[in-house]
Amino acid sequence: MKEIEVKAKIKNKALVLGNLKKLGCKMSQQIFQKDDIFVPQDVREVPTEIGVPVLRIRKNGTKNVLTLKMRLSNGLDKLEKETEISDPKAMEGIILALGFKKISTVFKARIKSKYKNWEVCIDEVEGLGPFIEVEELSEDGDSEKIQKNLFAFLKGLGVRDQDREHHGYDVLLYFKSKKKFKSGKKQAKGRAIKIK
């Protein structure tokens, strides 16, 4: 299954939420998530190259999920596989023993809804602020076309072109920590940051 998404910084949260409500979207209760991100030991730059496995342990209330993601064409077009786990600490030990290293931890508060066959999430990310992302799961859809449609939807909610982000929160936080954080279109050039 492919996870195809678009993401943008939110400048006017009330406007976006109001426009979602007009479309009939009912937002969930707020949930808190902690994501620990792992890459193979030999990875020296983020974002990772196409085809490199990235593992995530997500603590989501009382639920813990292990996710494998691999970039297919860009930072928000990925192969995704996941399963629920009972012991995140033990799983982290397994991941490290398999030759991975932890590169970041992301804390966020999330509310979400559905629109058509899309999942819509409003996130408050510690260290980055408010974001919206919309995602479609697809077996073999045209990723570029799907992302174009998803971003057109975001623009209809009041999101501007210059607020679009092209990387996941883990990469954005890593860029920020290295004082090379770039937002919007400048970031789309795919500048890689070396991991020490």
Query: In sequence order, what are the residues at sequence separation of 6 or more whose Cβ sits closer than 8 angstroms to the Cβ of residue 72?
Result: 2, 50, 78, 79, 143
The pLDDT, as a whole number, for residue 181 is 38
3-class secondary-structure state, position 16: helix
The CA-based angle 173-175-177, given to 5 degrees, is 70
Residue boundaries of the structural domains of the chain: 2-187
Q: Tell me the helix, strand and coil percentages in the chain, rounded to 5.
A: 25, 45, 30
CATH topology of domain 2-187: Hypothetical Protein Pfu-838710-001 (2.40.320)
C-alpha 88, offset from chain centre: 20
- Give pLDDT tens digits along the chain (196 positions): 888 999 999 999 999 999 999 999 999 999 999 999 999 999 988 889 999 999 999 999 889 999 999 988 877 788 999 999 999 999 999 999 999 999 999 999 999 999 999 999 999 999 999 999 999 998 887 888 999 999 999 999 999 999 999 989 998 998 888 754 344 434 334 445 555 5
The pLDDT, as a whole number, for residue 196 is 53
The pLDDT, as a whole number, for residue 176 is 86
β-pair type (2-9, 77-85): antiparallel
β-pair type (77-85, 100-115): unpaired
Q: Which residue has 């919309």 as its token pair?
A: 134
Q: What pTM does this model have?
A: 0.85
The pLDDT, as a whole number, for residue 192 is 53
Give buried/exposed letters for 148-169 (b at 16+ CB in 10 A, else e): ebbbebbeebbbeeebbbbbbb
The pLDDT, as a whole number, for residue 190 is 45
